[in-house]
Structure 1
């Protein structure tokens, strides 16, 4: 099959999926009675060649939201609860220099939504070279930069260790993720 045709089909599927999510998006994340896709999910950015796999995903808030450049969207873990033990596996198309991980560790849609949902408090990053690095967040609604400074990185696993509890929903959200 022609590569262009395959690429076009993938783009069309992503656009349709995102349009459906936008149409169904509410001011917050559904409660336990909502339909959740608790299976691992995967997203590949055609622009960056980065593939991300999650331990679980709420199907209304897909992994594509992590790299859409919009702070007012979010990936949401599919399992209700504190979020401890959930992870994102980030694979690079080829080994690369990673200076900084940029992260918005909650649902940055607005102030009410930020505090209504779980937000990251502490994470552990595991790297393809076997090393680890921990990072903490103070709970404020903003983008954070985590200095990494590693060359030859093939993959990073972001493990959620601890979250700030949401005032309304028991789920864990991340609005944006990127690398410099």
Structure 2
């Protein structure tokens, strides 16, 4: 009997194991993991000789609230950016993201806003590559707010009950212009764990095609952000 019980306990462990690598990624990008809060994470970024190491780092893609945001951009040089990716934080609304409310509304949407290329000036915009096609991978997470403890993501009040679940991949073609471009993306919840759990998204952008620059082989994006679309009947 002891042998049987021991064997069963070993078979259960993988099913209950937590994905700490994912939790660290999700916590850092969307929340706060230890001291890193809402931080964009990329596969790579350009390091240019004679300039600070972080001149074109991932965080430059989400500094649009800064006065001089047009002077910065996330840039990549590897393979001219093709296949390179970045995780950008998602602005959710905790009052409106419970599964029971989403199912009742029969919908859940988020907006994707991007400023393509290096828009510090027109010469730099044309000199560097811009993104032509980008794929947005949507990972769904069913979670609840909890007291910090052994089951929550380190340093957060987030306890994951389901996920990450691949909700879908959306390919978007961008216009080759310096102006802001906005897209609305609809998602259908996959998790059916508990209607009172909340729904969150982890969003990964992967560069698929580019508009070639006339001087450099680096690909740049000045700004990108994701925000929950507040349902019309909830605005009042």
DSSP-derived class of the 1:71 partner: helix
User: Deviation per CA, 1:135-165, whole angstroms, max 9, x where unpaired?
Assistant: 1112112111121244733301111000011
Which structure 1 residue ranges, 5 or more long, are not aligned? 1-42
Aligned-partner Cα distance in 1 for 2:115–2:129: 12
Match of 1:157 in 2: 204
User: Deviation per CA, 1:40-60, whole angstroms, max 9, x where unpaired?
Assistant: xxx86889x533211101232
> Could you tell me how far 1:82 is from its partner in structure 2?
2.6
- Residue pair 2:130, 2:220 contacting (<8 A) in 1 also: yes
DSSP-derived class of the 1:121 partner: strand
- Residue pair 1:50, 1:93 contacting (<8 A) in 2 also: no
Aligned residues: 136
Root mean square deviation, CA, Å:
2.7
Q: In the superposition, relative to structure 1, how do residues 119 and 46 fare at CA in structure 2: closer, same or farther (>3 Å)?
A: same
Which structure 2 residue ranges, 5 or more long, are not aligned? 1-27, 47-52, 98-107, 141-165, 190-198, 228-236
Greater Rg over alpha carbons, structure:
2
Tell which deviates more after alignment, 132-141 or 147-156.
147-156
- Residue pair 2:75, 2:220 contacting (<8 A) in 1 also: yes
Aligned-partner Cα distance in 2 for 1:44–1:127: 14
> TM-score, normalised on structure 2?
0.51
Q: In the superposition, relative to structure 1, how do residues 90 and 64 fare at CA in structure 2: closer, same or farther (>3 Å)?
A: closer
The structure whose RCO (Cα within 8 Å, separation 6+) is larger is: 2
> Could you tell me how far 1:71 is from its partner in structure 2?
2.5
Q: In the superposition, relative to structure 1, how do residues 44 and 127 fare at CA in structure 2: closer, same or farther (>3 Å)?
A: closer
> TM-score, normalised on structure 1?
0.65
Match of 2:43 in 1: 55
1:144 to 2:181 alignment: yes
More helix by share: 2
